[in-house]
Structure 1
Amino acid sequence: MEGFLTDTLPWLLVGLVAVAALLLLRQPIQYLTRLCLRTLCSLAALAALSPLGPLIGVGLGVNLANALVMGLLGVPGFGLLLMLNWALAR
């Protein structure tokens, strides 16, 4: 019985605490995962737009800040970035 108390019980308690933490943080983890996926898609869209940018007059940088804005706001975020680029370039 002593081997169980000193060897197995701490690992069992750590496992229970980890499961409880995952259950409590399930929804925030889902939101964070969704934001990461949307940011990656936005980064891919910025990278695809980058070679065409000079041809159509859109010059947004391919970076994490722009991708996060687009990931959070979607298409309105793209418009916001274009307006900021236009306003700050003048």
Structure 2
Amino acid sequence: MAADIIQLILALLFLGFLLYLIGGLLLKPLKLAFKIAVNSLFGLLLLWVFNFIGGYFSFTIPLNWLTILIAGFLGIPGLLLLIFFRLVL
């Protein structure tokens, strides 16, 4: 009788451990996707503000997925990089 209870407890602990591992594996890509989405929104906002101000000087950066990701991941240095590319190219 006691052996059955011990086996049941061990099985439940093992099942809990497996659920913990599988949950961690499934949540990692979701966390990455959420981080990319937040950074992209930040990049879009950064470019929008720059284009709003730059519109008065006839200097804008096109809004596309590449410029948004560069500005989102690199922040202000990414925006400066995009400005540099726009001036040089």
Percent identical among aligned pairs is 25
| Correspondence for 1:74 | 75
Aligned length: 71
Aligned residue in 2 for 1:3: none
Contact 2:44 2:68 in 1 (8 A): yes
Match in the other structure for 1:35: 36
* Counterpart position of 1:84: 85
SS of 2:52 mapped into structure 1: coil
Q: Which has the larger radius of gyration?
A: 2
Query: Matches of residues 1-90 of structure 1 in structure 2 within 5 Å?
Result: 20=22, 22-56=23-57, 58-88=59-89
RMSD: 2.5
After the TM superposition, which segments of 4 or more aligned residues of structure 1 sit over 3 Å from their partners? none
* Matched letter for residue 43 of structure 2: S
Give the unaligned 5+ runs of structure 1: 1-15
The TM-score, its normalising length taken from structure 2, stands at 0.62
Structure 1 residue identity aligned to 2:27: R
Which structure: greater helix fraction?
2
Deviates more, 1:68-77 or 1:53-62: 53-62
- Structure 2 residues without counterparts, runs of 5 or longer: 1-17
Counterpart CA distance in 1 for 2:59 and 2:32 is 30
Calculate the TM-score normalised by the size of structure 1: 0.62
Any conservation in 2 of the 1:42–1:71 contact (CA below 8 Å)? Answer: yes
